[in-house]
Chains A and B, each alone.
Chain A
């Protein structure tokens, strides 16, 4: 492991090694203290951008979606050599998450009634059934890879069922999500010759090929749906009208793409990261075992704060402005580091302590404002139910082997987490 230099001048947060080796929190702590709005200099591949690490600044940016827009890039990645395909592949202005108001508001209102806390709450029994099936499948085994056999399966099932995607295709969705969101990790670069894996080009190829396959799949799916309408989310989108017009195939395609990608890996990593945090803090795990009601009151929120599965989202400034004394120029990117703001000493008491009874806990793991996570209710419910059932059935479940983290600056991910357990 390389020793990180902890001076703002040397920090380059495009380096996935910082995240893969779990050193990001050290960097963030230093940046919050010494350079809370920090210019990340351009390197050979990526243009420069602002690292925003304080809670109050992320709130200020999110409150102003006209000044800080989402339609010109939502990640730190702005390649020095522009490839026109990149903008197409990233769906600038096409998806909910890459659209600005006023269109964003109208697009979101097509679907948001299905995602309110009340609507989601009605799904609890069904989600518990899915969890029961997942845990039935591991019951007889002495141990499993918690990520692939537990954490990944729940969000995959929930989102695929919502979309109407048949069970026989869930594995494909799992693989494609890994490529689209985790394409920077050599493990998922299976379409690239082995000798070339691990490079920036391999990442770009993997993300492109994963996205293309995802588009193809959903294009066919929508076609079939138009002939044989079904009452699922894709069906709803086919019927929906935006300002008197029906959505076209491309609009629906991007909706499907976003939901599959946004709903999967994020929740998976909150579940895996929560398992790891509870294992590493046995006294906190004991509190949850003794009082499972903590899950619905405070523990799930602490898992979300602690894991912050979306490492960052970005915005582009539409005019020259100022943030905490720094001059932000029109066209520059500001990158909001959720893992940092969720450990901001000005907001959270003792922020480096994992505390399942923490209150208040106004973390920003789901962002805030215009683009606040549409699936937050689902993610919260999935986390609550899976830990309730896990600890009821396998109270002694614990990590038993090496944790493998994802090589990514975007998703705070865990790829593999061996666990062992016995049935209660």
Chain B
């Protein structure tokens, strides 16, 4: 599964980085960046938490393309 951060919404609240530092990094521009292409299975729960905890609901699972 892929995860995305909507930069129109993101305001550098750091919740995603705290939940899954291997996957998210908040940089000097106060925006969070996704560090991996595919989220490894063992990090899924952490990313799930990032999705749930982002105050701006900017972190989302990417819908599978059919």
Contacts and interface: CB of A to CB of B under 8 A. Distances in A.
Interface residues of A, number: 18
A63 B54 CA distance: 11
A111 B39 CA distance: 33
A372 B15 CA distance: 14
B8 A109 contact: yes
A86 interface: no
Contact of A63 (B8, B55, B57): B57
Interface SS of chain A: helix, strand, loop or mixed? helix
B14 A370 contact: no
B56 A105 contact: no
A362 interface: yes
Contacts of A372: 55-57
Given A113-B30, A116-B30, A118-B30, A368 B12 contact: no
Contacts of B56: 368-370, 372
Interface residues of B, number: 12
Contacts of B11: 112, 115-116
5 contacts: A113-B30, A115-B11, A118-B12, A118-B30, A376-B55
Contacts, number: 34
Given A117-B12, A117-B13, A369-B55, 19 more contacts: A62-B57, A105-B8, A105-B9, A113-B30, A115-B11, A116-B11, A116-B12, A116-B30, A117-B14, A118-B30, A362-B53, A368-B55, A368-B57, A369-B57, A370-B9, A370-B57, A372-B55, A372-B56, A376-B55
A105 B55 CA distance: 15
Contacts of B52: 362
A366 interface: yes
Nearest to B56: A372
Q: Which 7 A-B pairs have the closest CB atoms?
A: A369-B57, A116-B30, A116-B12, A372-B55, A105-B8, A116-B11, A372-B56
A366 B30 contact: no
Interface string A337-380: 00000000000000000000000001000101110100010000
A112 B29 CA distance: 12
Contacts of B53: 362
